[in-house]
């Protein structure tokens, strides 16, 4: 049973913002929302994570809905190097901190 | 080491042989995860550990697959009597768990993976 739901694919133009949505309607109060991405022929890499408040780092921003049932990863200016599969994952706490990947969203960036 | 190290990087084995894949996590990382990834697919969760305790092995496909982390550091994923369908990239990841006012997972770091080919 999928814990998160993401669109299969999205397209963006280079240097434009990209908003990648994720639905997680069954999220529990202690689940953190993590985002990872996987570039072609590489292993997954961490992008950002949060619990309740919006988060910013050098790579992206994470906007979390007030009810926490959805979140959006925001790439402020997409570059060709951002073309990857983006995964939204829920991670629990203590001994429920498994990390399961779904199908993710394949982002294509057009020059 | 500086990152998560997996060995071997490539393994070709004959059908029916046993293989052992090794993962050396970042020093001090509490959580260690194993995944299998077929070409064009996302990482498929296999199992994970906190310290030496195997927390969840529900992702292991069948009883030919097993994993251990006896001292809470290095982990080994063993596949017995390999079959061609076991051919895939096997990935390991590790992360810290911060215990303070609560529990917080930090980012997970992935190794380079072991490409297993069963012929």
pLDDT tens for B11-70 read: 999 999 999 999 999 999 999 999 999 998 999 999 999 999 999 999 999 999 999 999
B25 and B52 Cβ atoms separated by less than 8 Å? no
Our CA-based measurement puts residue A51 at a distance from the nearest CA of chain B, in whole angstroms, of 10
Average pLDDT over residues A5-25: 97
Task: Please name the residues in contact with A26: beta carbons below 8 A apart, sequence gap of 6 or more.
Answer: A3
**pLDDT value, residue A90:** 93
- Mean of all residue pLDDT scores within chain A: 93
Contact yes or no for B107 and A102 at CB 8 A = no
Query: A-B interface: how many C-beta pairs under 8 angstroms?
Result: 63
pLDDT band with cut points at 50, 70 and 90 for residue A96: confident
Task: Please name the residues in contact with A90: beta carbons below 8 A apart, sequence gap of 6 or more.
Answer: A3, A4, A24, A27, A31, A32, A33, A34
Which neighbouring-strand residues pair with B110?
A: B93
Residue from B2, B109, B27, B113 nearest A46 by CA: B109
Residue A104 contacts B where some CB pair is shorter than 8 Å: yes
Residue from B10, B75, B77, B30 nearest A94 by CA: B30
Q: How many CA atoms lie within 13 A of B104 on its CB side?
A: 10
Count the Cβ atoms, other than its own, within 10 Å of residue A29: 8
Contact yes or no for B108 and A36 at CB 8 A = yes
Closest chain B residue to A86, measured at CA? B42
**pLDDT value, residue A16:** 96
How do A9-13 and A105-110 pair as beta strands? Answer: parallel
Q: Is the pLDDT of residue B100 over 80?
A: no
**pLDDT value, residue A1:** 46
pLDDT band with cut points at 50, 70 and 90 for residue B106: confident
A35 and A50 Cβ atoms separated by less than 8 Å? no
Residues of B at the A interface, defined by Cβ within 8 angstroms: 31, 33, 35, 42-45, 48, 50, 53, 55-56, 59, 91, 93, 97, 102-105, 107-113
Q: Is the pLDDT of residue B101 over 80?
A: no
pLDDT band with cut points at 50, 70 and 90 for residue B103: low
Q: Is the pLDDT of residue A2 over 60?
A: no
Residue A94 contacts B where some CB pair is shorter than 8 Å: yes
Q: Phi then psi for B84, rounded to 5 degrees?
A: -60, -35
Instruction: Write the CA distances from A53 to A50, A65, A106, B9, B31, integer angstroms.
Output: 7, 9, 26, 40, 25
**Exposed/middle/buried for residue A30 (C-beta within 10 Å: 0-12, 13-18, 19+):** middle
Contact yes or no for B104 and A32 at CB 8 A = yes
The sheet with strand A45-50 has its strands ordered as A9-13, A105-110, A84-91, A32-38, A45-50
Characterize B30-48 residue by residue with b for buried, 16 or more Cβ atoms within 10 angstroms of its Cβ, and e for exposed. Answer: bbbbbbbbeeeebbbbbbb
Question: CA B59 to CA B38: how far, in whole Å?
Answer: 15
């Amino acid at each position: 049973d999928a814990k998160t739901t993401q669109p299969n694919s999205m397209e963006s133009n280079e240097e434009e913002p990209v908003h990648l949505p994720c639905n997680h309607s069954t999220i529990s109060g202690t689940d953190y929302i993590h985002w990872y991405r996987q570039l072609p022929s590489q292993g997954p890499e961490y992008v950002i994570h949060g619990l309740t408040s919006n988060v910013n780092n050098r790579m992206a921003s994470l906007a979390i809905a007030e009810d926490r049932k959805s979140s959006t990863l925001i790439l402020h200016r997409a570059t060709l190097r951002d073309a990857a599969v983006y995964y939204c994952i829920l991670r629990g706490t203590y001994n429920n901190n498994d990390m399961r990947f779904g199908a993710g969203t394949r982002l294509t960036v057009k020059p | 080491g500086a990152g998560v190290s997996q060995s071997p990087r490539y393994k070709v084995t004959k059908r029916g042989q046993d293989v052992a894949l090794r993962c050396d996590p970042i020093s001090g990382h509490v959580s260690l995860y194993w995944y299998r990834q077929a070409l064009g697919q996302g990482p498929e969760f296999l199992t994970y550990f906190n310290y030496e305790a195997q927390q969840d092995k529900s992702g292991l496909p069948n009883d030919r697959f097993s994993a251990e982390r006896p001292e809470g550091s290095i982990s080994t994923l063993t596949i017995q009597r390999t079959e061609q369908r076991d051919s895939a990239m096997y990935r390991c990841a590790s992360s810290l768990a911060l215990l303070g006012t609560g529990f917080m997972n930090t980012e997970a770091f992935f190794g380079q993976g072991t490409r297993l080919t069963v012929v």
